[in-house]
Structure 1
Amino acid sequence: MERVMRLKSCIGSLLLTLMLCSCNSWLDIDLINQSEESDLFSTERGFSEALAGVYCDIAASNMYGQTLSFGMLDIMSRIYDYSQIPNKMKIFRDYNYEDKDMKAYIYALWCSFYANIASLNNILEWSERNASVLSDERRDQVRGEALALRGMLHFDIYRLFAADIKLDKTSRILPYQTDFGVKTPPVYATGDYLDLVVRDLEDAIKYLENDPIMKITPYELGNGDGENKDQSDLYVARMNYYAAKALLARVYLNMGGEKVKEARRLAEEVIDCGKFALVDYERSLNTEEANKDLLFSDEHIFSLRGQNVKTDAEGVHKQITGSDGNLQMASGYQASLYASDLEDYRLNWYKGFYIIKYTSDNSKRFFPKMPMVRLSEMYLIAAEGWMKDDPDHAAELLQTLKQARTKQLVGKQAVTEEILLLEMRKEFVGEGQLFYVYKRLNHDIIGNTSEDAVKANNGVFVLPIPEEEIEYGHRN
C-alpha cells in the first residue's frame, strides 16, 4: 500500500514539548509553562516567548547543542581519533545508517527539525492573525527572525538528507514546510527546495532592516563582570539582519556556479559592516584562565545559548582515566594540522589529546555558547568566491584571517581549494561544519590520521530519510 509522508506523526508528538520548552531563561525571558495559543499570542511578550522556545529547543543536546556540533557531525567528519571513538558513538564514525539505533537517532533528529519549523510557522501565522497585538516594528522583527530560522533549519535538512545540488539538482526528496498544521507538505526537487530557502532568507533580510543590531556594535559591548552578563547576547544570541545575510552567503556558496558571486558579495557586506571583529589576542586570550574567550565571541554573528553545552561537552571531551566515553585527538594531530605555526591561537582549543573549547573553566564570564556562524566563515566564503576571478583579492582576504590567528607575520599565498580546506579544518573544530564542507566540495574526508581517510560518496554524505517519512515513489 502506498505510504505518504507522515510529518504530522513527529510534529504532533514534539510540538507541545517544543512550545513548553523548559529553560531557566533566555535573554531574561521566562518561558511559559502552559498556555493556550490564543492566550500565548495575545500579547507581544507571548510572541517573544514562542520564539524563545524555538531558540531553546534548537540549542538542546539533540540538535545544535551537541549532535549537530561537536557530537555526531564532528565524529562523521573524523576530527577525532578513529580508534578511540567510544562504542556508543561508533555508529556515527562508521556511517552505519542501517543500524537500528542510528535509524532511531536520525528519525528523532528529523522530527526535531520539522517540529521546530512547525512552531515557527505557527508564530508566522499568528503574527498575521493577531497583527494588531504587535507594533509594526516588532512584527517585522518577529517575522524576520522566524523566517530566517525556518530557512536555516530547512537548509540543514538539505545538507544532511539530500545529495549536493551541484551533483544532483532534480531529486524530488524533501518536504518544505511553510504552513502550520499536520497536513503533508509538498515535496520539492533539490533546486526548487533551495530556492525556497533563499526566498525565506531574502524575506527575512527585508523584515530585519531595522533590527536593533543596526544601532550598536556587538563586539564593542564586551562581557560584563557578573556571571552570564555578555551584553552582546541581546543582539547575536538570536537571528539578526547580518546573520540572515551570512546564512544566505552560506547557501549561495553551496549552490555553486554563478551563485558564488552572490555569496562573496554578501560575505563581504557582513565583513565590511564593522559589527563583528576577528579575535583580539590581548583582549580574549592573553588573560587569566577564567577570562579566556575560547569561543572567539567577538566573531559571533549568530550563536545559540545552550544550558547544557558545557555539561554535554564535558561528557565527551574531558579526560577521565579508564573511561570509554571520551572523544580525543590522535597523537601528533595538532602538530600536524598546525605545523606551519605552533603559536596559532586556535591551539588554545586543545589540552593534550582533548578539546577544551567548551569545557574550559570560564563559565563565570561566558554563557554556554554554540557558534552558528562566525566572521571567520565570511572571510573564507569571500576568499573562495574570489579565488578564480580575483586571485590577489582572495589572497588578501585569507591573509587577513590568518593574521588574526597568530602573532607571527603571515604572508600572502595563492588561494586554492586545498589551502582553504586546511584552514577550515583548523577553524571549525567543535562546530559541526567540517562534514558539510567535505560534502559541498565532494572531497574525501581526511581523517584524524592518514589511515582514517574516507572516500567522498553519497553513501557517507547523505543520511537516509526515515522510513516512516518516505512517500512511495520519492525514494532515491
Structure 2
Amino acid sequence: MKKYILILLTSVVTLSSCSDWFDVTSGSEIREKDHYSTLAGFQQSLIGCYISMTDNALYGKELSWYAIEILGHQFNPVTSNSSNSREMQEYEKFNYDHTQIFSDIENIWAKAYSVITNANEALTNMEGQEASLNEVYYHVIKGELLAIRAYMHFDLLRLYGYGDWKNRSAELNSKKTIPYVTTLSSIPTPQRTGKETLQMIINDLEAAEKFLKEYDPITKKHPASYYTSIDADGFFKDRTLRLNYYAVKALEARVYLWEGSKESIDKALNAAEEIIKAIGDNGIVMDDMYTYSYLLPEISQSNRSLASEALFSLDVSDVTSKITSYIIPNFVNTDYTAMYISPTDVESIYEGINSDVRFTRMLDQTQGDSRGYVPMKIHQASLDAFNKNRLSLIRLPEIFYIAAECYATSATPNLDMALQRLNKIRENRGISTPLENLNADQIIKEIQKEYHKEFISEGVMFYYYKRTGCKSIPNYSEEMTDTQYLLPYPTFEIQSGRVQ
C-alpha cells in the first residue's frame, strides 16, 4: 500500500471539473462590468478571498487545527471499538492509500485555486484604476491581493511539492511542480520548475510589500487620524485579520527559509529581524492592530488562542460547530472522535518543565481520567470575544524561531544571537533557565523542540518536518521519504498531463 502523510481525515465534497477553476466564465465577465466600477466592488472581492480561505477544505479546518499536528503530536482515539476510532488510528499511522484520499486531496487543490482565481480576477480589473480609486485603498487592496496569491501558491507548493530544498538543487531545477496562475484564461497554465515557482512567489511578495509599505496603517506613514477620516466603513479595522505589511514580511521569511540556500537564509533573517525590530518590547499598536511579542502575564482561559500574538489570522465563522466533536475537555468513552495527547507524549514534549505555560495553561487534562491532555487553543467556550473564531496562521514565536535558525545556519553564524532569539520565547513562556553554550547543531535541535511546544494544534509541524527533511519522526516507525511527504496531484491533473 502506498502511504501518504495526510493533513485531514475525510471529506464529502463533490468536485467540479478542472475547467471550472481556471476558465473565465460568462458570470465573471458580467461581474467585471459592474462589480469593479466602484471601490466597494474591490473591497468585496478582497474580503471574499479571505472568506474563501476559511473554507473547511482550507484554513477553516483541514489546513489549520484539524491538521492536529500529525507529526510529533500523537492524538489518540478514545477507544478502539468504533469505526471512527479505527479511522483515527489509521490516520495516526499514515495508512491512507491513494484511492481513499482522492476527494480530500482534490478538494484542497480546487478550493486553493478558486481563491487564486478570485484574486486574479480582482487584480486584472485593478489595472488602470489607480486614478479613480483613493490611493491608499488602491495600494492596500492590490498589495493584499498579491499577497493572497503568493500565500495560496506557497502552501500548494509546500503540500504538493518537495521539501528539504537545500539538498535538492538538481531535482528542483529539472522537475515540474504546481502551476503558478497569474491570469484569467481558458488556456491551462504551464507547470514550471520548483525554483521558477519559488521565484514567482517571491516576485508577488516583493510587489505586495512595495504596495503596502507606504500605505498600510501599521507602517505609520500617516497618523491614525488620517485613516480614521477615510475609513467610514471600517475597512482597515484589525489588520491582523488581513495580510498586512508585517505578515507579508513573515511570509517572505517562510519562503526564503523553505528554499534554504545561504543567500536565502540571509534574506529570511532580514525579513524576520525587521518584524522583531518593529515589534520591540511593547508590540505593534496601530488603530485596531495589537500584536505583542510576549503574553506570559496574560495567558488565561479567556485568551488561550494567543490571537494577540498573531501577525495574520482568519475570522472563521462558527468555529464551535466544527470543533465540538473533537476538542472535548472532559470526554468520555463514547466520544469516539475526541482528540487528546497522551501523558507520556506531553511529558516528552515539555520535558517535565512545569513552569511552561504552554503546558500548564494551554492543555487541559481530562478530569477523572488520566489518559491524556486536550489542546485548548481554539476551545470557544472559554475564549473572550476578541479571541473567538480566530485561527492564527502566522504567530510571532515562529518569527523568533526563524531568526534563531538563520543565525545558527548562515554563512557567518551568530550563535549568541540565535540563543537570544530562542531564549526570548522560552522566557516569556515561563522557562527561567536559559539555553547557553550550545553549538549550531544543538541549537537546531532545541528549535525543533520549541516548535513542538509552541504549535500544538496549529498545523505547523508537518511543514517543519518536511522543510528540514526529517527522515525519522516521533510515533512513526518507517523512514520518511517523498512517498509520505508529497500529497499526490489530483487525478484530473495527472490525466491532463501534469507531472509531479
Task: Sort the TM-score into its range (normalised by shorter chain).
Answer: 0.7 to 0.9
Report matched runs for 1:3-18 at 5 Å: 7-11=18-22
Report matched runs for 1:232-311 at 5 Å: 234-258=238-262, 259-274=264-279, 275=284, 276-282=291-297, 284-285=298-299, 289=301, 292-311=302-321
Q: 1: CA distance between counterparts of 2:237 and 2:419?
A: 33
Paired amino acid for 1:206: K
Residue 10 (structure 1) shift: 3.8
Deviations 1:197-248 (A, max 9, x none): 11110110001012111129xxxxxxxxxxxxx9996211001111111100
Equivalent residue number for residue 364 of structure 1: 385
For structure 2, which runs of at least 5 residues remain unmatched after alignment?
1-16, 79-83, 222-233, 285-290, 366-372
Contact 1:243 1:301 survives alignment (8 Å): yes
Q: 1: CA distance between counterparts of 2:488 and 2:323?
A: 27
Equivalent residue number for residue 94 of structure 2: 95
Q: Given the superposition, is the C-alpha separation of residues 67 and 185 from structure 1 closer, same or farther in structure 2, using an over 3 Å criterion?
A: same
Q: Given the superposition, is the C-alpha separation of residues 130 and 460 from structure 1 closer, same or farther in structure 2, using an over 3 Å criterion?
A: same
Aligned equivalent of 2:71, options 67, 74, 77:
77
Q: Given the superposition, is the C-alpha separation of residues 158 and 204 from structure 1 closer, same or farther in structure 2, using an over 3 Å criterion?
A: same
Q: 2: CA distance between counterparts of 1:112 and 1:91?
A: 26
CA RMSD of aligned residues (A): 2.7
Deviations 1:154-212 (A, max 9, x none): 00001000112332313113100000233211211111111101111011000101211
Q: Secondary structure at the match of 2:322?
A: helix
Q: Give yes or no for the alignment of 1:399 onto 2:418.
A: no
Provide TM-score, normalisation by structure 1.
Answer: 0.84
Contact 1:75 1:92 survives alignment (8 Å): no
Equivalent residue number for residue 369 of structure 2: none
Equivalent residue number for residue 220 of structure 2: 215
Equivalent residue number for residue 499 of structure 2: 475
Q: Given the superposition, is the C-alpha separation of residues 473 and 13 from structure 1 closer, same or farther in structure 2, using an over 3 Å criterion?
A: closer
Equivalent residue number for residue 422 of structure 1: 449
Q: 1: CA distance between counterparts of 2:74 and 2:24?
A: 35
Contact 2:22 2:188 survives alignment (8 Å): no
Q: 2: CA distance between counterparts of 1:238 and 1:57?
A: 13
Equivalent residue number for residue 355 of structure 1: 375
Contact 1:253 1:263 survives alignment (8 Å): yes
Contact 1:428 1:434 survives alignment (8 Å): yes
Q: Given the superposition, is the C-alpha separation of residues 95 and 334 from structure 1 closer, same or farther in structure 2, using an over 3 Å criterion?
A: closer
Residue 412 (structure 1) shift: 3.2
Q: 2: CA distance between counterparts of 1:67 and 1:91?
A: 17
Q: 1: CA distance between counterparts of 2:155 and 2:398?
A: 16
Contact 1:69 1:430 survives alignment (8 Å): yes
Paired amino acid for 1:308: D
Q: Give yes or no for the alignment of 1:37 onto 2:51.
A: no
Q: Secondary structure at the match of 2:177?
A: strand
Q: Given the superposition, is the C-alpha separation of residues 196 and 410 from structure 1 closer, same or farther in structure 2, using an over 3 Å criterion?
A: same
Paired amino acid for 1:320: F
Q: 2: CA distance between counterparts of 1:351 and 1:112?
A: 34
Q: Given the superposition, is the C-alpha separation of residues 76 and 472 from structure 1 closer, same or farther in structure 2, using an over 3 Å criterion?
A: same
Equivalent residue number for residue 150 of structure 2: 151
Q: 2: CA distance between counterparts of 1:14 and 1:208?
A: 31
Equivalent residue number for residue 108 of structure 2: 109
Equivalent residue number for residue 22 of structure 1: none
Equivalent residue number for residue 45 of structure 2: 50
Deviations 1:345-377 (A, max 9, x none): 112221112111101421434231111111111
Aligned residues: 433
Residue 130 (structure 1) shift: 4.1
Q: Secondary structure at the match of 2:447?
A: helix
Deviations 1:242-291 (A, max 9, x none): 11111000000010012111111110110101223223222x225xx4xx
Aligned equivalent of 2:189, options 185, 188, 209:
185
Equivalent residue number for residue 327 of structure 2: 317
Q: 2: CA distance between counterparts of 1:112 and 1:472?
A: 19
Equivalent residue number for residue 328 of structure 1: 340
Provide TM-score, normalisation by structure 2.
Answer: 0.80
Residue 473 (structure 1) shift: 5.4
Q: 2: CA distance between counterparts of 1:343 and 1:277?
A: 21
Q: 2: CA distance between counterparts of 1:77 and 1:183?
A: 38
Contact 2:310 2:392 survives alignment (8 Å): yes
Q: 2: CA distance between counterparts of 1:265 and 1:41?
A: 37
Q: Given the superposition, is the C-alpha separation of residues 7 and 94 from structure 1 closer, same or farther in structure 2, using an over 3 Å criterion?
A: farther
Contact 2:49 2:119 survives alignment (8 Å): yes
Residue 37 (structure 1) shift: 3.4
Report matched runs for 1:423-442 at 5 Å: 423-442=450-469
Contact 2:177 2:499 survives alignment (8 Å): yes
Equivalent residue number for residue 230 of structure 2: none
For structure 1, which runs of at least 5 residues remain unmatched after alignment?
1-5, 20-34, 217-229
Contact 1:60 1:308 survives alignment (8 Å): no
Contact 1:271 1:379 survives alignment (8 Å): yes
Aligned equivalent of 1:204, options 204, 208, 229:
208
Q: 1: CA distance between counterparts of 2:110 and 2:26?
A: 10
Q: 1: CA distance between counterparts of 2:72 and 2:61?
A: 15
Q: Greater shift after overlay, 425-434 or 363-372?
A: 363-372
Q: Given the superposition, is the C-alpha separation of residues 231 and 195 from structure 1 closer, same or farther in structure 2, using an over 3 Å criterion?
A: closer
Q: 2: CA distance between counterparts of 1:15 and 1:362?
A: 44
Residue 312 (structure 1) shift: 1.5
Equivalent residue number for residue 14 of structure 2: none
